[in-house]
């Protein structure tokens, strides 16, 4: 299940300007499972690793290789605040987002002096289809984050 990158990525979802892969690239925000690992579907746990880790490696590597050859570009990887601490009930998801943080930090060091920059954004809870896809009731989830669940920026 290796996703194919779109032919022309956009640098900003609010922008009408389209950037070539040599200019700007943003990885997908990812998917996740919710609930104890003991009750989880193995296929669902593996699928989140494929999207949140494998796809980040695949898409970032392809973009970086083009950007370094051209001597310019920017990568923005999408992590999560869950990547900074253990998160019972979302252990696998938090681990994949910790990967995004570590991978991005390491890649930033590798790319120093190439003209290519890399950064990660780590949003907290954002109102998107994420909870619905994960099978979680938004109201039940929001009780843990009553003041910070916001509408998606994009």
Q: Distances in Å between the alpha carbon of 92 and those of 14, 42, 145?
A: 31, 11, 20
DSSP summary character for residue 39 = G
For the chain, the distance separating the N- and C-terminal CA atoms, rounded to the nearest angstrom, is: 26
Q: Are 131 and 32 in contact (CB under 8 A)?
A: no
Catalytic residue among 93, 99, 103, 130: 93
Q: What DSSP assignment string belongs to 71-117?
A: T-EEEEEE--GGGGS--TT-HHHHHHHHHHHHHHHHHHHHTTTTTEE
Other C-beta atoms lying within 10 Å of the C-beta of residue 63: 24
Contact residues for 103 (Cβ-Cβ < 8 A; gap 6+): 56, 57, 60, 77
φ, ψ (nearest 5 deg) of residue 51: -75, -50
Q: Is 103 a catalytic residue?
A: no
Query: Which residues are designated catalytic?
Result: 93
């Amino acid at each position: 299940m290796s996703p194919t990158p779109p032919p022309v990525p956009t640098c900003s979802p609010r922008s009408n300007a389209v950037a070539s892969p040599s200019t700007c690239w943003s990885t997908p925000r990812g998917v996740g499972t919710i609930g104890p690992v003991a009750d989880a579907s193995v296929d669902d746990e593996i699928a989140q690793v494929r999207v949140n880790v494998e796809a980040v490696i695949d898409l970032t590597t392809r973009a970086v290789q083009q950007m370094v050859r051209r001597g310019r570009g920017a990568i923005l990887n999408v992590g999560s605040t869950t990547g900074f601490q253990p998160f019972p009930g979302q252990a696998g998801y938090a681990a994949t987002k910790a990967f995004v943080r570590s991978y991005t930090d390491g890649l930033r060091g590798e790319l120093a002096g190439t003209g290519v920059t890399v950064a990660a954004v780590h949003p907290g809870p954002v109102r998107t289809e994420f909870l619905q896809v994960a099978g979680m009731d938004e109201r039940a989830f929001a009780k843990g984050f009553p003041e910070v669940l916001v509408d998606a920026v994009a």
